[in-house]
Amino acid sequence: MPRSLFSIGQPSISLEVVYTNPHKVEQARRLIEKMPEIEIKAYNRGCYNFGRMLSRYIKRCIATNTPPPGVSWPPHSDDYLKRYDPKGFWYLSGQLMRSISVFQRSNDRWYVGPPPDEPAIAPVNRKGRSHPSKLTLVQLARIQELGSYTVHNDIPPRPLFVPSFKAVGGTNRLRRYIVANLRRELKQYL
């Protein structure tokens, strides 16, 4: 009578002996202990490197007055062109472009843009005069990104930051930066 592959009787017990290299076990234990530190370091480096690349791209768009791909900025009003340089609002005094950087705040998130509390310097108009500005650079950038519609004037949106993030690869590219840094960190321990 042929035997089946499955046995219904008593289970058989077998003991396997595994020989390990004590040095490799110690190395694995150290790696497991260091993993949280390694992950945080790789995340921070990946975000910082991606942020630097994104900030260079944004600065290039501002300097050349060229919107990111897929975006068209509306032309400036005649009133604006009479008062300011036709190079574009994103540039104006150059302060916004110079202030864009990569920084980490207390909540462990990474940001690309102007520092949060830096006051905006009012641009000098064509007559060599400037008017006082009560806005911070972040508020000025938000107005340009989203637009502002008030009783006195309408500022159409001129998106820059969000389309630039998408143009440089978005979350997929950021993920690749983090994973590449994680591999680099792990190689030090393996």
Residue boundaries of the structural domains of the chain:
47-189
Q: Which tens digit of pLDDT belongs to each residue from 67-88?
A: 899 888 887 777 777 766 655 5
Judge contact between 126 and 84, C-beta under 8 A: yes
Q: Which tens digit of pLDDT belongs to each residue from 81-127?
A: 776 665 555 555 677 888 899 988 877 889 998 888 877 776 655 56
Q: Which tens digit of pLDDT belongs to each residue from 172-186?
A: 999 999 999 999 988
Higher pLDDT, residue 136 or 19:
136
Residue 84 DSSP label: S
